[in-house]
Amino acid sequence: MGRFSGRVAIVTGGSSGIGAAVVARLVSEGARVTIADLNAPDEESDAVAFTATDVASADAVAATVDATKERWGRLDILVNNAGVGAFGPVPDMEQEAWERVFAVNSTAIFLFCRAAVPAMRENGGAIINIASISGLYGDYFMSAYNASKGAVVNFTRSLALECAPHGIRVNALCPGLVETPLIGPSLSTPESRDAWCSRIPLRRPAQPEEMAGVVAFLASDDASYMTGSIVTADGGLTAHTVSPTSPNCGAFGSRKPVEPARLCLPSVCIGTTMNMP
């Protein structure tokens, strides 16, 4: 018996990348899964059904949720994974591109949650929204993507408050650099790969299966006390500031004792000597 035996999930964007890895992981642990995507997966099975879905269409989303309940009788897990990006400076960005990014990355999550929450109230469940570390910080020339993923982060928190009384947990996963077909071209040469990975403490991109493991945890009873959480899985990328990586750079690299510093409080001054590591 797997952790998800008897449970039913919907995974948007489940035909490739992180979504495909999530589908495989949930099925391996006993779940039955509906893939909501415009592109069909490589294969289907008794445990995997594909529904061609424009995730930005309210009618298509409602039909996918209804079809899942009709096929398997329930809905326990929703993984909102589908996403797109747009690259370029704000003055050059077409409004249509901005709106498409928000339609897929943000509005689609609202539409699926709106349709799925009533279906999950009977048995409770888990919703996992795939955001991004780009929803926590800024990137050059990625304003639409950053803004849309930031919306996902706070939507997750708000929905978690609404759903908690119904036993529905809502969390977000913020991946860092993940080696998917979408990001693959950016890692296609040793130089470009090194440029990306040199900023990551673990010195490599994540694999989709690693993100699927986090999603499976958040969907499982092992995370039963987690809701409204924003989980980062980025190889340590957001754990540091922009300070140089070398310990011998600037003042913090001198490794010499500095003059005693005095910490002044309202009623006492304490003399301390600071030694830089």
Q: What CATH number has the domain bearing residue 122?
A: 3.40.50.720
The string of pLDDT tens digits covering residues 125-171 is 999 999 999 999 999 999 999 999 999 999 999 999 999 999 999 99
Spatial distance between the Cα atoms of 92 and 107, rounded to a whole number of angstroms:
23
Residue 134 belongs to some domain of the structure: yes
Residues assigned a catalytic role: 145
What's residue 239's pLDDT? 96
Whether 23 shows a pLDDT value over 50: the answer reads yes
| Beta carbons of 112 and 55 less than 8 angstroms apart | yes
Indicate the pairing of strand 269-272 with strand 261-264: antiparallel
Residue 261 belongs to some domain of the structure: no
What's residue 264's pLDDT? 44
- DSSP string of 201-269, one letter each residue: TT-SPBPHHHHHHHHHHHHSGGGTT--S-EEEESTTGGGS-SS-SSTTSGGGG---PPPPEEEE-SS-E
The string of pLDDT tens digits covering residues 64-113 is 999 999 999 999 999 999 999 999 999 999 999 999 999 999 999 999 99
Residue 272 belongs to some domain of the structure: no
Residue 121 belongs to some domain of the structure: yes
Residue 268 belongs to some domain of the structure: no
pLDDT band at 263 (very low <50, low <70, confident <90, very high): very low
Burial of 47 from C-beta contacts in 10 A (0-12 / 13-18 / 19+): middle
pLDDT band at 185 (very low <50, low <70, confident <90, very high): confident
Residue 136 belongs to some domain of the structure: yes
Residue 166 belongs to some domain of the structure: yes
Helix runs in the chain, H state only? 17-28, 58-72, 95-102, 108-120, 143-163, 190-197, 208-219
Spatial distance between the Cα atoms of 91 and 132, rounded to a whole number of angstroms:
24
> Looking at the DSSP assignment, which residues form a beta bridge with residue 232?
174
Whether 180 shows a pLDDT value over 70: the answer reads yes
Domain that holds residue 225: 8-248
Domain count, the chain: 1
Higher pLDDT, 102 or 272: 102
What's residue 266's pLDDT? 45
Residue 2 belongs to some domain of the structure: no
